[in-house]
Amino acid sequence: MRKEQYNFPLDDFISEGDFKKIKEFSKDKETPFLIIDLAKVEKMYDKLVKNMPFVKIYYAIKANPTDEIITALKNKGSNFDAATIYEINQLIRLGVQPERISYGNTIKKEKDIAYAYEKGIRLFVTDSESDMKKIARNAPGSRVFFRLLTESDGADWPLSRKFGAHPDIIYELILEAHDLGLDPYGLSFHVGSQQRDIGQWDNAISKCKYIFEAVAEQGIKLKMINLGGGFPAKYISPANELETYAHEILRFIEEDFGEDHPEIIIEPGRSLVADAGVIVTEVVMISKKAKLNQYRWVYLDIGKFGGLIETLDESIKYPIYSEKKGYEEEVILAGPTCDSMDILYEDHKYAFPKSLKEGDRLFIFTTGAYTQSYSSVAFNGFPPLKAYLLK
């Protein structure tokens, strides 16, 4: 239970210089809040382009829909994956041309499809006959891509079951799309977010190959594969480097399709923005539940409802850093609300110096994705997570 070692070296997750900047910036601000380093988002985008020059990038804006992030990525040439008309409106307000937007949600109202079409959007995903007929009625002639059901094994934040359909249904949909006057353009899948098993792309790409061939026999030539998201950010559980993902995925594509492969799209969310965020939080209370309990409870001023919902089932393990040094003790970490599910980590034990006390600040790294956009409006009266851009 006791460890005489530091939690982790700071520079596993942030350079000393960057950490200094974060501390300086946050000095007189009231916790909790998120700081986004925009330059890091831009760097990640460049890194993606460098490692995967063969793809067209559609940023999945739900990961972090901050205007400045979208504008920066727009200026770098990114395209965008939107899930709702609200996201579409935001993109249009920020000057993104409709040709650069994909309506990437398989669950859509008829009137929302009509709205998107009226705004100029011509690229839609689908995975059901009902949705496809809505698209045919309200967005005639548009390009559609078909989402395949995949396993999310190996993903820290699975997206399985809810989206996509089995190849036999997809095959029928593709043939029908053509008859409905749509342009059956390609296939998509999502292997699960923070997918640490690169082999999952191999399985999914093989399924694509099979469908490409099956519909080709019926005279339909698909032109695109959308590899979805799932690319990694740096949390406690280690993942391969982006270089390895890129290299392996290209190998899978070339094994199945040769060098003259179809157009490849990716929809990164987490991997573009997560590493650029740091949440600064304060210890509200430290307590013991019984005299002989091994573990102290450490309550922070941020929890599941304040932006850390991905700690559900302890799925995502954020690096949490204390500046205190010395003898460490494992603790249970919880949030500040009056909901008993608002416990962050109980099974996985985080260790902090025994000298950690109420009022101390902790720094939660890799929190640029799926934090602010997930935080509740006012559960228990707590305001939604504030965010600042580090300039």
**Taking CB under 6 A as the rule, does residue 372 contact ligand PLP?**
no
Three-class SS of residue 22? helix
> In the complex with ligand PLP, which residue's Cβ is closer, 266 or 334?
266
Distance of alpha carbon 52 from alpha carbon 136, whole angstroms: 33
Q: How does strand 277-287 pair with strand 328-334? A: unpaired
Q: Residue 391: is it exposed, middle or buried by C-beta count within 10 angstroms (0-12/13-18/19+)?
A: exposed
From candidates 186, 262, 268, 307, binder to ligand PLP by CB under 6 A: 268
Q: How does strand 320-322 pair with strand 328-334? A: unpaired
Torsion of CA 51, 54, 59, 63, to 10 degrees: -50
Q: How far is the CB of 64 from ligand PLP (least distance, A)?
A: 10
Distance of alpha carbon 187 from alpha carbon 14, whole angstroms: 37
Give the binding-site size for ligand PLP (rule: CB under 6 A).
16
In the DSSP assignment, the letter for residue 326 is S
Q: How far apart are the two ends of the chain, measured CA to CA in Å?
A: 41
Q: Which stretch binds ligand PLP (CB under 6 A): 9-17, 131-139, 223-231, 234-242?
A: 223-231
Distance of alpha carbon 90 from alpha carbon 84, whole angstroms: 10
Residue bearing tokens 């793809």:
55
> In the complex with ligand PLP, which residue's Cβ is closer, 125 or 173?
125
Q: Which stretch binds ligand PLP (CB under 6 A): 24-32, 126-134, 225-233, 357-365?
A: 225-233
Amino acid at 190: H
In terms of Cα–Cα distance, which of 376, 372, 374 is closest to 68?
372
- Considering only residues 166-205, where is the footprint of ligand PLP by CB under 6 A? 190, 193
> In the complex with ligand PLP, which residue's Cβ is closer, 62 or 74?
62
Task: Give residues with Cβ within 8 angstroms of 21, minimum separation 6.
Answer: 390
**Taking CB under 6 A as the rule, does residue 307 contact ligand PLP?**
no
Distance of alpha carbon 308 from alpha carbon 312, whole angstroms: 8
**Taking CB under 6 A as the rule, does residue 228 contact ligand PLP?**
yes
**Taking CB under 6 A as the rule, does residue 337 contact ligand PLP?**
no
Q: How far is the CB of 53 from ligand PLP (least distance, A)?
A: 19
> In the complex with ligand PLP, which residue's Cβ is closer, 269 or 335?
269
Q: How far is the CB of 62 from ligand PLP (least distance, A)?
A: 6
| Helix extents (H) in 96-226 | 110-118, 129-138, 167-179, 199-216
* Dihedral pair phi/psi, residue 354, rounded to 5°: -60, -25
- Considering only residues 41-60, where is the footprint of ligand PLP by CB under 6 A? 60
Per-residue contact flags (x/-) with ligand PLP for residues 90 to 119, judged by CB under 6 A: --------------x---------------
From candidates 19, 185, 201, 231, binder to ligand PLP by CB under 6 A: 231
Q: Which residue is nearest to ligand PLP (CB)?
A: 229
Q: How far is the CB of 108 from ligand PLP (least distance, A)?
A: 13
Per-residue contact flags (x/-) with ligand PLP for residues 58 to 87, judged by CB under 6 A: --x-xx-----------------x------
**Which residues would be at the binding site for ligand PLP (CB under 6 A)?**
60, 62-63, 81, 104, 190, 193, 228-231, 267-271
